[in-house]
Amino acid sequence: GQNIDQPTEMTATEGAIVQINCTYQTSGFNGLFWYQQHAGEAPTFLSYNVLDGLEEKGRFSSFLSRSKGYSYLLLKELQMKDSASYLCAVEDSGYALNFGKGTSLLVTP
C-alpha cells in the first residue's frame, strides 16, 4: 500500500524560509515529486528527486532520504504568490504517482 504524509496547513511570512516535510511508506519507489497547485488551477511541476540529497532550483530546493522515507521542500525568500498547496508524490514501480493530501501554505505580509 501507499502512505504519504505531509502537514495539512502552514503559515509563513513574506521574505522568510519555509520547509514542508513529506514522509512516505510505499511499495516500490521510482522517485519523488513536488507539485505546486494554486486554488482552482492544475498542479504544476516543481522538483524531482530520485537519488538522496538536495536538488536546488532557484528559490526552491527539495531533499530526499530514501532510507528514511523522507523528503522536504524548502522555499526561500517567500513571496505572496507562493501561497498555494504543495503536493508530495511518490512514483511507484508502475510509474503511477501516489499523492499526499497536500500542504496548504499561506504567506502573510
CB 11 → other proteins: shortest distance, Å?
19
CB 86 → other proteins: shortest distance, Å?
12
Residues 46-65 that bind other proteins (CB under 8 A): 48, 50
Task: State the number of binding residues for other proteins (CB under 8 A).
Answer: 22
* Residue 99 in contact with other proteins, rule: CB under 8 A: yes
DSSP for 41-102, please give it: S--EEEEEE-SSEEEEETTEEEEEETTTTEEEEEE-S--GGG-EEEEEEEE-TTS-EEE---
Residues 19-48 that bind other proteins (CB under 8 A): 30-31, 33, 41-45, 48
Stretch that binds other proteins, among 9-17, 59-67, 74-82, 92-100 (CB under 8 A): 92-100
**CA nearest neighbour of 36 among 95, 84, 79, 100:** 84
The answer to whether the Cα torsion of 24, 86, 48, 63 is positive or negative is negative
